[in-house]
Every structure is written in structure tokens, then in C-alpha cells.
Chain A
Amino acid sequence: MLDHPKESAFETFSGNRGLDQEEPPIFEIGRPETSGVDIDEPAHLEPRLGALERKGPIGLPGLCEPEAMRHYVRLSRKNYSIDAGLYPLGSCTMKHNPRLNEKVARFAGFADLHPLQPQSTAQGALALMEELSRWLLTLTGMSAIALSPKAGAHGELCGLMAIEAALEARSEAATRKVVLIPQSAHGTNPASAALLGFQPRVIEAGADGVVSEEAVAKALGPDVAAIMLTNPNTCGLFERNIVAIARRVHEAGGYFYCDGANFNAIAGVARPGDMGVDAMHLNLHKTFSTPHGGGGPGSGPVVFSERLAPFAPVPFLLREGETLRLVEHGDGAQSFGRLTAFHGQFGTFVRALAYILSHGADGLAQTSRDAVLSANYLRVALRDVMTQPFGDRLCMHEVLFDDSFLEGTGVATLDFAKAMIDEGYHPMTIYFPLVVHGAMLIEPTESESKRSLDLFVTTMHDLIASAKRGETRRFTEAPRYAPRRRLDETAAARKPVLRWSAG
């Protein structure tokens, strides 16, 4: 169905631009009576639905198979993806997603397996969970694991719940209500703490971008339940005072939660367990390469120290000789309870384990080193044209710049990012971490070749020189070569249209 172009801005009658084809919503191309699935009408059906049968129409459009293929293929081509190019989103770890992971997750014995079928018929799946647990515990140097959290932020809840359960067991849950959180933390950290009734207390980082032992000591008191520290932190720096910080927190009776979103910098190189961590979530969709699918699913297993292990949620695995048993109920133990139906993101466990086995312990360490190497390579290649908020020093797997190099050019950070789109790159993370004004956080990951990194550097140099020459339209009018120009986000928020309607 062709709509006549309404605006003279369209160069073509159809609105298409060659291979860049417009695609209306399914509601404008489908019809309720069309179906792309052949299902026979059952013979002689006398419903036993009480009086609850639906009477009126739903309005759902249907597409036959060729229409559906074309609709979704056309939509897919309006997306950037890691398979298409460099995706240097800091703190998001957009690394290569091996297709072997997808293949094995689709084995019938994994994909076509019900979470509640008898455990005797799912021993292979339980063995897979045990093997993944062994790897994650060894890599982190921790004592126990909860596989069930569905995402990183769900893992934060899990870790904090175990901490509160431990405090309850010590009869200190009512008095210890404060969680120390550095200003640079992911926004989910304070949100998770607040959701569970904790009061976040902000800790400032020093001029060197990391939290000092003194700053923590000053904030500690008998009201502190825990500290939530991201390490490496969101400024791309290793919290080098971590051991002393952990000791201080422990001495004050608190627990140490580590946000493990950036574990990919140190996996196989150093262990959180040696740093005094009590609980930490792992983002399987970051460190262990499971694809993020445009925003999910994630998977956020949590590892625990010996002190918190007894409070871990159900379900958990028990080995009884040759047999594995999934403990699905508290059974009167100290487990704090259940976080989600069933056993977690099993399909993601399969993918993560395939990745882990492909690398082995040696390969995982190399992966971390390459991620750190690539980030520092970019840092050195860009440090003369961009500005670093904490001075010129080694970074971990991501490198943080700020926008002061754009001062006086008339180009804002957002404009700069949009111009990167025209050059064929997904922009880096901008305006995060909040602690740095005009932050630009670049994470190349280990998946990029040196040639790819060099091309990126050359492009960045060209963009920066262009901004300094005053070629502002290249930025303020960007993107020009994208499926859409700048979108009016203010209008979208002011008068939200969240569903399609006719007319």
C-alpha cells in the first residue's frame, strides 16, 4: 500500500530511497482475516468456557508469510547492529555474538524442554547449569551462585536481598538501612536499593576518578548495610583502593556488593573474591557474549561470598552422587526465597557456556587483556584531540573522554554523536557517567581488529578537525544518512502516542 508523500522533503513518490524502503505498521498492511499459519478449525467444538467466551472482535491484523517476511526484513534494515559495524557503547560491552551459541541453544534437548518436567528427565540441563556455575565461581573466586536473576538489575535486587536477609539473621535489618553508592554508579544501583527500602548515600570519587578509602570510612557508620561499588568503575578505571575499602566496610559490619557489569575487563585476570566482595552480579549478555536482542533478554547470575551463601535464593542445585537435584523451595533453610518463576534464563546459560568453553580459561584471560589493550590504544590515539576528565592515565576496557574539546565550536555532544552515525558508526555512550560533564564513554571490546580501530581513530580525527573548523552543519543537521533524521523526543513525551490507532 503506497501513501502519497505529504512533504516535499521526500525525493521519491513512494518515500523509499532505493534499498532504504519505508514500511508502515502491521496495522496498515494486515487484515484480521489473513493468516500466515494454517490451522484447521476443530470439528464439533462445544466450548466449556463457562460464559466467558470472547464475543467482539480484537482487531489484530494478520499477515501471510511473504508479507511477514518482507515487513520484518525491511524493519531489520533500519537497525544498527554489532554484526554491521563498530558499536563502541561504553558500559554496554557490544562484543561479537558467536552464532555457535545460537545453534547449540536451539538443540531440541535444551530449547524443547519444560522447566517443570520431572528432574530425572532433565539431568543434562541441570548438568549444564552446574558446569556454568563451576566456571563462574572459579572465575570470580566466590562460594555460591544464584543463576535465576533475569538481568543485571534483577541481580542487584538478588544481592541486596541476600544482604538484608543476612542482616535479619543478625537482627540488624532495622538499624542498617543505608547503602553507600558512588555518584558514578549505574542508575539501577540507587533504584534497586530504594526499591528494597534502603537509603542510598552518595560517595564522591576523588579527583583521580576512584573512590578513596577515606571517603568510605567517613561515610561508614552503624546504619550502613552495604556499599555498592562498580569495579572496574563506569569511568573506565579500576577501583585500586578496593581491598582497603572492603576491609573498612566489613569492619563496620557492612557487606560489599560489587556491580559486575564491567567484569569483562578482568575475567581470568583477577578475582572479585580476592577483593573482599560479598555479592556480585554477572551480565551474561555482556561479559559472556550472549546477544542483547535490541534490549533483552539479559541474564544476571549473582555470586556470593561464604558469608552470604546460606541466604541465596531458590532454586539452587544440589549434587547427590550421580544425580543433580534442583531445590525449588526453602525447605526451612535460610534462603531468602524466590526471585522469578522457574530457573532463570536457561537459554542464555547455554549460550554463555558455549562461549566460555570456546575460550577456555586461557582464552578468557586473553579476551580481557585485548579489551583493555584496545581501549588504551584508542585512548592514546585520541588523547591529543579529545579531553580526559581525570588526566592521562591507563584505563581498563573502556575509555572516558569529556566534551570540553568541543568548547567554542558550537557543536554539542549530542550533535557530535549524531555525526558519527553519518560516518557509519554507532555513537559511543554519551552523558554517562553523570559525574562527568558531557561524558563520552568508548568501549571498543576485544572484537575489533587493529584496522577497524585505526579507521575509527581516523574518522574521529576528521570529525574533530571539522568541528574545530566551524563546520557546524555537519553536526547540527546530522544524521542525514540514517533511516530517520533527528526525532522529536519532546513531542513524543509531551503527548504520548503508545499504540497505533486508525486515522
Chain B
Amino acid sequence: MRYLPLTDVDRKDMRDAIGVADFAALYADVPSELLLDRPLDLPRAKSEMEVERLLSAMAKRNLSAASAPFFIGAGAYRHHIPASVDHLIQRSEFLTSYTPYQPEISQGTLQYLFEFQTQVAMLTGMEIANASMYDGSTACAEAALMAHRITKRRKAILSGGLHPHYTDVLRTISHFAGDEIVALAPDVQAREDIASAIDDSVSCVIVQTPDVFGNLRDLTLIADACHRHGALLVAVFTEAVSLGLLKSPGEMGADIVVGEGQSLGNPLSFGGPYLGLLATRQSYLRQTPGRLIGETVDADGRRGYVATLSAREQHIRRDKATSNICTNSNLCALAFSIHLSLLGEAGLRRLARANHASAIDLVDRLAAVAGVETLNESFFNEFTLRVPGDAARLVEAMAERGVLAGVPVSRLLPQAGLDDLLIVASTEVDTAEDREAFVAAMKGAL
């Protein structure tokens, strides 16, 4: 076994040193009836070449995004990742290190997380950010719990433009935590009246922009309404690149900003690992879940970094902790931060504009398809189409023509009766030919 350094001679020497005759004696504390006395019905070890061949065969049974014109978004986005990003995150010292419990020999991790926190705070227009969460959806649930702790109220209002998976996650956690959520009906064109649903019992209002249907939302009036009633506004995004072009949630009055950071530096990877972002006001610092990195000095007065304020966390507060989260998405945060450092402000802005331009081009080409209607007045790189008939069947038919066309709303909201809606995303990786292929496949499939 290539991963095990001990030889049989070593094992015998070590058993002798311990004073046990065999492995059974080593497991003497395990009641003998629990020890397996027969081989499990599972295959034996494989060589590196065999494993690679087997997994390669599995991978080839999937239609990868690069092998077809590709227009799927709805919470996860395909972007170009510079080669240096993946190279750097695979350096042993990043990849194979653990949580920075010993700051003196974890300054690499601690410094890049400090840089990451600063980048996320800047991008969202907020005062502080944490060192990342599991993903956007769980960050969103944590934001609701955080709002409950701050306001001492337990009712969250969810916009009908919130990603349905995020709504589902909130439903689950609220049900078990004994909180109340009011999920507004799916809101395809961002016309819901959230403000009138807010009263003095509300802890937070959760609104996504761009929303799951691609609409951009001005949060200013909702923020005002929240603040009049002592509630917090939680702003959600699933496409971090949009923040390069759009007014930040902080500028629009958000109190907590959460989002999915997969778009920068992280591959689609069939849904994970992804990167939860959470930013907020300095005054909510002690109610913030997750890990926080702070600047300090060492015994020689040199600048250095440590994980800090852990008195809020489970390893000290246990059942009184602000959250049970003990891990973060560190390596994904590193990929995000490297990609964003490489882009810089100018690059991020150009990337965002390229995305927007690509989506505009696709929308304009779709005007030529009879029976297809674009529902958005504003959008970033994603929008919703009303198609004649069943959108899920259309997507399958277009896949057979070699085009991955988007997400039918029925996949996310099977009971909503919105079977003729299709969410389509276009990013900088799509070429004009890809967009033309989309239009041609759609015409052919309809």
C-alpha cells in the first residue's frame, strides 16, 4: 500500500515495544463482538493507474461545460480561472495545512485571510467581513440567525426573488430552531411589495440582487422600511462578479451582506466546495458567526495576524456560541482572493462589463426567436425567458442538440406552476458563436 510507510518488520518491532502480540490485542478495548471477523463486501486496493482509469471513465460519462455551448447559472457560474490560481492553491503549504491554531507558523494562511476579509468588505461596501462560510446558502441562513440575535426577534421575511435552494435551507433551519419565516411568493419580475410586509416583529428582510430570475433590485427603499421598524436588511448575491459593476449592497443600506463567492477562482465542481461570504457592520462584530482574523504584533513588534474573538465560538462558548460553525472554506477563499488580486479593480470592472455585454448580446439575438419572451427590465449576466411549452423539455431537447441551455424554473420550484420559465446565464467565456448556437438550437427545438 503506497501510502503506508510502515513495513511488516516495523509493525512487529512496534508491537513488541508496546507489548502486544497482534492487532487484535491492540484493539483489546473494543468489545470482541464488534470486531469484524470477515472481509467486507468491497473491492481490494487499486494502483494509481487503475484508480485514475476508473475515475476518468466516470468523468467521461458527464457532459462537461467546456464541451458544449453553456448557459447555466442560477447560483453557480462558469468563468475563466487564471492558471496561476489553481497552481498557487495547490502549493503544499496552503493545501495541506490545518486550521491556524499556531499563528507563528500559520502566517501565510492568516495574512491571506486578512486580505480576503478586506477584499470582501470593499466589494460589498461593508465595514467588516469574516473569513468565509460553507457556501452562499448556509451563509444566508446564518445571517438570519444573526439578525435574530441582534434584534431579539425571530421572524424573517424572504423575498420571492431569493434562490429557492436558499429559501429551502432557511425553511429547514428555521423550522428546527423554532423561528418563523415568511417566504413571499416567487416573484419573476421583481414587483413584490416587501415594504408593506415589514412590521415591528420582523428581525430581518432577505433580498437577493441580482435575484434568482436575474433582476437587479434597488435595495434603498427596502432598507429604509427595515430600519423604520428596527429590522435588518440582509442582502444576498450569488454572482460575485456583478459587484464589479453594480452599486454595492452597503451603499444601498444593507446591514448584513451574504453571498456565494464561487464565481471568482472556484470551478463549478457539480455544486461544491463553494465559498460563503458574509460582511456586516462593525457594531455587529460580536454576533458574527464564523472565523475572524485580526492584525496584531509579535514579541519583536513585527506586524502579524491571528484568529481572534474566538470567545464567540463553539470551542469556548459551547452551547452559548454564536454558531456551531467550526470550519470555513479556507482554500476556496484563497482561490477567490488570488483571482481578485489578479483582476484588481480595473480587471474586475472589465470582467463584469464583459459578462454584461455577453448577456445583452444573447438577449438581443433571442428577440429573433418567435414565441420567446424576455422578462427582465434590468439584468447583469442572467435573465429569465418565457418559452412556449415546458422549459424542462426544451432544455432536454436543446441538450440533445449539443447546447446546455439554462435552468428550468420547475427544477427549482416544482410546485410553482412556472413550467414555461427558463433562467439563462451568459458569461465572458461564451463566444458569439456559442450564443448563435443557443439561438439556433432553441429555434430548432421549439
Q: Does A342 contact B (CB under 8 A)?
A: yes
Q: Does A462 contact B (CB under 8 A)?
A: no
A139, B282: Cα distance in complex, Å: 47
Q: Is A297 touching B329 in the complex (CB atoms < 8 A)?
A: yes
A344, B216: Cα distance in complex, Å: 28
Q: Is A295 touching B109 in the complex (CB atoms < 8 A)?
A: yes
Q: Is B104 touching A482 in the complex (CB atoms < 8 A)?
A: yes
Q: Is A40 touching B407 in the complex (CB atoms < 8 A)?
A: no
A110, B298: Cα distance in complex, Å: 43
Given the contacts A59-B122, A373-B6, A426-B102, A492 and B294 also touching, CB distance less than 8 Å: yes
Query: CB within 8 A of A68: which of B84, B109, B360?
Result: B84
Query: CB within 8 A of B108: which of A77, A123, A362?
Result: A77
Complex interface bits, A193-205 against B, C-beta within 8 A gives 1, otherwise 0:
1111100100000
Q: Which residues of A contact B193 (CB under 8 A)?
A: none
B146 to chain A, nearest CB (A): 12
Query: CB within 8 A of A427: which of B23, B102, B122, B138?
Result: B102
Q: Does B136 contact A (CB under 8 A)?
A: yes
A499, B219: Cα distance in complex, Å: 25
A457, B153: Cα distance in complex, Å: 55
Q: Count how many pairs of residues, one from A and one from B, have CB atoms less than 8 Å apart in the complex.
A: 705
Residue of B nearest to A420 (CB): B102
Q: Does A486 contact B (CB under 8 A)?
A: yes
Residue of B nearest to A344 (CB): B272
Q: Is B378 touching A39 in the complex (CB atoms < 8 A)?
A: no
Q: Which residues of B contact A374 (CB under 8 A)?
A: 6, 14
A447, B4: Cα distance in complex, Å: 6
A62, B119: Cα distance in complex, Å: 11
Q: Which residues of B contact A127 (CB under 8 A)?
A: 58, 61
Query: CB within 8 A of A357: which of B2, B43, B66?
Result: B43
A163 to chain B, nearest CB (A): 10
A35, B244: Cα distance in complex, Å: 14
Q: Is B163 touching A366 in the complex (CB atoms < 8 A)?
A: no
Given the contacts A52-B216, A108-B64, A344-B272, A496 and B301 also touching, CB distance less than 8 Å: no
Q: Does A487 contact B (CB under 8 A)?
A: yes
Q: Is A341 touching B268 in the complex (CB atoms < 8 A)?
A: no
Query: CB within 8 A of A343: which of B270, B295, B301, B357?
Result: B270
Q: Is A341 touching B62 in the complex (CB atoms < 8 A)?
A: no
Q: Does B151 contact A (CB under 8 A)?
A: no
Q: List residues of B (328-362) whose CB comes within 8 Å of A's CBs.
A: 328-332, 334, 338, 340-348, 350-351, 353-354, 356-357, 360
Q: Is A360 touching B6 in the complex (CB atoms < 8 A)?
A: no
Binding site secondary structure of chain A: loop
Q: Does A380 contact B (CB under 8 A)?
A: yes
Q: Which residues of A contact B76 (CB under 8 A)?
A: 114-116, 342
Query: CB within 8 A of A360: which of B27, B33, B43?
Result: B43
Q: Is A191 touching B246 in the complex (CB atoms < 8 A)?
A: no
Residue from A75, A296, A348 whose CB has the most chain B CB atoms within 10 Å: A296
B173 to chain A, nearest CB (A): 8
Given the contacts A449-B5, A498-B117, A369 and B294 also touching, CB distance less than 8 Å: no
Given the contacts A112-B66, A191-B321, A53 and B296 also touching, CB distance less than 8 Å: no
Q: Which residues of B contact A188 (CB under 8 A)?
A: 314, 324, 326
Query: CB within 8 A of B17: which of A31, A195, A377?
Result: A377
Q: Does A256 contact B (CB under 8 A)?
A: no
Given the contacts A114-B404, A240-B31, A293-B330, A79 and B107 also touching, CB distance less than 8 Å: yes
Q: Which residues of A contact B317 (CB under 8 A)?
A: 187, 191
Q: Which residues of A contact B237 (CB under 8 A)?
A: none
Query: CB within 8 A of B306: which of A87, A111, A362, A492?
Result: A492
Residue of A nearest to B276 (CB): A150
A188, B338: Cα distance in complex, Å: 31
Q: Does B178 contact A (CB under 8 A)?
A: yes
A469, B360: Cα distance in complex, Å: 75
Query: CB within 8 A of A76: which of B23, B62, B93, B351?
Result: B93
Q: Is B2 touching A358 in the complex (CB atoms < 8 A)?
A: yes
Complex interface bits, B289-304 against A, C-beta within 8 A gives 1, otherwise 0:
0011111111111101
Q: Which residues of B contact A439 (CB under 8 A)?
A: none
Query: CB within 8 A of A32: which of B114, B136, B332, B344?
Result: B344
Q: Is B84 touching A295 in the complex (CB atoms < 8 A)?
A: no
Q: Is B272 touching A150 in the complex (CB atoms < 8 A)?
A: yes
Q: Which residues of B contact A65 (CB under 8 A)?
A: 82, 84, 342
Residue from A104, A116, A353 whose CB has the most chain B CB atoms within 10 Å: A116
A252 to chain B, nearest CB (A): 21
Q: Is B99 touching A358 in the complex (CB atoms < 8 A)?
A: no
Query: CB within 8 A of A362: which of B45, B98, B168, B216?
Result: B45
Complex interface bits, A389-415 against B, C-beta within 8 A gives 1, otherwise 0:
000011010000000000000000000
Q: Which residues of A contact B33 (CB under 8 A)?
A: 243, 274
Name 5 interchain pairs, CB-CB below 8 A, sorted by A: A42-B356, A116-B407, A118-B404, A338-B172, A446-B3
Sort A-B residue pairs by CB-CB distance and give the 10 closest, nearest first.
A62-B344, A293-B331, A109-B59, A124-B61, A342-B271, A115-B271, A35-B347, A297-B273, A42-B357, A360-B45
